[in-house]
Chains A and B, each alone.
Chain A
Amino acid sequence: MHDAQSPNVPAPDMPASDTAARFLRLPSVAERKLGPDYTVPVRLDPRILDQMQQTIRDLTEKYAETLKAQVGSLFSFVELAGMGDADARSQLYAMAHEVRGLAGTFGYPIIGRFAHSLCSYIEGYRAIDASVMRFHIEAMYDALKQGGGDELLADETLASLERLTAVTHVDGERSVG
């Protein structure tokens, strides 16, 4: 470990009272591996970027099948989750969370947005309504059937889902009214 500088002088962004703070500038990982002559590249290497994008394209077809199966599975948890079953709620959230994280990468950003909305809904309320969840999943399913969905329609649908959530949950404690 190289300790390039270790002054006992607080930097401007540290609390004045923390006089024991030390500020270290360590060599980069690249410098440690390749030596001190390593220079930071000024831009991304287009060849590597192309390879990465090709990797995503190669995985997209397989992911489309996975996504279809996941959206289908979401339906199976809705009723139980809506009745307060903690395990169903947890499984539904985990699957929606996975869709939220990956759909956009593989060219399904609208489905990712619906999944995000569903996750936010589950995170935000102790008691969750089956109809609200079903609408979210149906929106995902429709977008999937359309090959990804329409941006304008998605905006309208998400706005409708927000209104539906507000109507369904009438009290201020974020629980089903």
Chain B
Amino acid sequence: MTKDELFAKLKVLIVDDSAEMRNLLVALLQSMGFAEIFCAASGEAGLRVFCDESPDLIITDGSMRPMDGYEMTRRVRAGDCHGGENCGNRDVPVLMISGHVGDDIVRLARDTGVTDYIVKPVTAETLYESILSAVSRPIHIVETGSYRGPSPKRRLVPRISGETLSE
């Protein structure tokens, strides 16, 4: 089984308010062999698609309006995605692609349950590495009374294109 055969079995949701960025990501994911690609232009719309399609992977921007990628991720993890009813897999890997690289914003991404963080501009190699890592590695979840998701105590190292940064 080659990796493109794997990708052909996966559903992915892209959430980004930039049409240009969505078009780029769709084209890249198609060239990787993803057969089912869904798009949304805000966190709110992303939650609706998440409920309807139950994707295997979410790729989201951080800054969006009215609902940003952080709040969308928090609600996916909390099982509070659409009218209080959880309809998708709340443990789904969430990759965030953002123009921000500050410690505070990366910490926010980690605390809301983002799986991996890619700093723009994204390259083919960085995107591919991040996706492959997200879908091929076991999913480690921490569950407390108020949180379920990747450990909020882990060190989330942003992936910066051209640099080898991994946990």
B-to-A contact residues, CB < 8 Å? 1-4, 6, 9-10, 18, 20-21, 23-24, 27-28, 30-33, 56-57, 63, 89, 91, 93, 97, 99, 120-125, 127-129, 132, 134-145, 151, 153-154, 161
Contact = CB atoms under 8 A, between A and B. Distances in A.
B121 A102 contact: yes
Interface residues of A, number: 50
A33 B56 contact: yes
A102 B20 contact: yes
A134 interface: no
Interface stretch (A49-57, A137-145, A148-156): A49-57
A28 to B, nearest CB: 5
A59 B47 CA distance: 29
Grouping DSSP codes into helix (H, G, I), strand (E, B) and loop, the A interface class, with mixed when no group exceeds half, is helix
Interface stretch (A40-48, A73-81, A159-167): A40-48
A169 interface: no
Given A45-B3, A51-B32, A24 B121 contact: no
Interface in A52-76: 52-56, 58-59, 63, 66
Contact of A28 (B135, B144, B154): B135
B137 to A, nearest CB: 5
A13 B122 contact: no
Contacts of A100: 99, 120
B136 A30 contact: yes
Which 5 A/B pairs are nearest by Cβ-Cβ distance? Answer: A104-B121, A52-B124, A13-B153, A29-B135, A26-B139
